[in-house]
């Protein structure tokens, strides 16, 4: 045990947070203790989010131009005074016990570098895609290993001295992307311990539609994540990368190819049927989860979306792989007189 209770600084990057941001601040100001500070970094907002934070009496760092959540979080961490930096997204509501949970986790384990949580099972937006996306995130984290292999910026805490020593977030990600996953990759490579605290949960208020979901999943998550996997040579068997998910992606493409071949060779319908049964069996725990949470018809609607998820994840991995090796080839041709060595991205030092 430590000699004193860890102090916590909550850092919230915000860009045009709207109503969700107000709900986020309202939840935070109800649970703060005298040893907790809240720092809002207004990342070039144009909707008055910085003024909302000032209405709550919080410390606000204003940036004239948006530089991305990584840069905003880094600036907040540099200004923070707490032993622990607790990063919270501007579109989540934290629970009454969240800050005390973070403090207890670090006080109990002096060798712990970081803690991450998950979304809860009651998303704020009521439409199908928002419920599906956020509940699937909840399920994935609740079934994952407690010894985590990544960091999570929406609800993640880290010792400030470790965060600063490792260089903070990679600021090259100018939009909400995989800057937290990239940080987690460096933490693990450096031998630091990250814990997934499954009862540390926040409510996600974001509204997802088809366009925003696919745009975020493909271009801001899956493709850059694939490039990071190749760059770090680290494909962990956890969370979205678990072996079952990889196998499901392979089976989905076998199913799709078989559907095409059926037009010329009807016998391949047997392959379609077998592949479908394999997918249902392999992912039955997911569908039982949705059935228990939202009922039969909701779970039934989830199935095609879940298979579509595996489809675009497979496409993103193939595209990201090609993009990575093409960039490697181009870089090697630009340095013909030396042996090309892969380098990690530039990390803006604080």
* pLDDT in the model for residue 266: 85
Q: What is the pLDDT of residue 338?
A: 45
Q: Which helix (H) or strand (E) holds 273?
A: helix 269-282
Tokens of 240: 């979205």
Domain boundaries, the chain: 8-208, 239-334
Please give the backbone phi and psi of residue 203, each rounded to the nearest 5 degrees, phi first: -90, 125
The pLDDT of residue 3: 56
Q: Which residues of 269-278 are buried (b: 16+ CB within 10 A; e: fewer)?
A: eebbeebbeb
The rounded average pLDDT for each run of 10 residues, N- to C-terminus, in the chain (350 residues) is 75 95 93 86 94 94 94 96 96 93 93 96 96 96 90 96 96 92 94 95 96 94 91 70 87 93 86 94 96 97 96 94 89 61 44
Which pLDDT score is estimated for 269?
Answer: 87
152: exposed, middle or buried (Cβ count in 10 Å: 0-12, 13-18, 19+) = buried
CA distances from 228 to 48, 170, 198, 236 (A): 35, 12, 26, 12
CA distance 154 to 2: 27
Query: What pLDDT score was predicted for residue 349?
Result: 41
Concatenated DSSP letters of 79-96: H--SSEEEEE-TTEEE-T
**Residue 38: closest CA among 68, 65, 13:** 13
Query: Exposure pattern of 185-198 as b/e (b: 16+ CB <10 Å)?
Result: bbbbeeebebbbbe
pLDDT at 238: 57
Residues 6+ apart with CB under 8 A from 107: 1, 2, 5, 6
Give yes or no for a contact between 89 and 155, defined as CB atoms under 8 angstroms apart.
yes
Query: What class has domain 8-208?
Result: alpha beta
For tokens 């703060």, name the residue.
Answer: 32
Question: In whole angstroms, what is the distance from residue 172 CA to residue 133 CA?
Answer: 26
């Amino acid at each position: 045990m430590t000699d004193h209770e860890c102090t916590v600084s909550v850092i919230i990057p915000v860009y045009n947070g709207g109503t969700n941001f107000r709900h986020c601040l309202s939840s935070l100001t109800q649970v703060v203790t005298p040893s907790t500070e809240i720092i809002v970094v207004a990342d070039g907002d144009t909707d008055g989010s910085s003024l909302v934070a000032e209405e709550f009496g919080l410390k606000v760092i204003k940036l004239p131009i948006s530089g991305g959540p990584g840069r905003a979080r880094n600036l907040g961490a540099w200004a923070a005074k707490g032993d622990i930096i607790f990063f919270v997204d501007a579109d989540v509501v934290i629970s009454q016990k969240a800050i005390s949970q973070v403090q207890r986790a670090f006080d109990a384990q002096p060798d712990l570098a970081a803690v991450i949580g998950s979304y809860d099972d009651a998303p704020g937006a009521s439409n199908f895609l928002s419920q599906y996306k956020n509940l699937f995130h909840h399920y994935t984290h609740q079934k994952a290993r407690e010894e985590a292999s990544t960091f999570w910026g929406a609800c993640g805490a880290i010792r400030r001295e470790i965060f600063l020593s490792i260089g903070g977030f990679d600021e090259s990600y100018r939009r909400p992307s995989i800057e937290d996953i990239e940080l987690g990759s460096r933490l693990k490579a450096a031998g630091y311990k990250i814990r997934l605290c499954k009862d540390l949960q926040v409510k996600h208020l974001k509204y997802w539609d088809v366009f925003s979901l696919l745009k975020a999943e493909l271009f801001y998550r899956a493709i850059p994540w694939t490039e990071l996997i190749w760059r770090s040579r680290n494909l962990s068997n956890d969370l979205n990368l678990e072996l079952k998910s990889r196998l499901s992606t392979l089976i989905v493409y076998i199913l799709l190819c078989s559907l095409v071949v059926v037009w010329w060779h009807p016998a391949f319908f047997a392959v379609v049927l077998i592949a479908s049964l394999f997918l249902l069996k392999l992912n039955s725990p997911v569908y039982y989860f949705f059935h228990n949470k939202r009922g039969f018809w909701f779970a039934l609607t989830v199935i095609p979306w879940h298979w579509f998820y595996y489809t675009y994840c497979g496409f993103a991995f193939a595209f990201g792989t090609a993009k990575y090796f093409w960039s490697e080839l181009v870089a090697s041709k630009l340095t013909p007189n030396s042996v090309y060595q892969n380098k990690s991205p530039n990390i803006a030092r604080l």
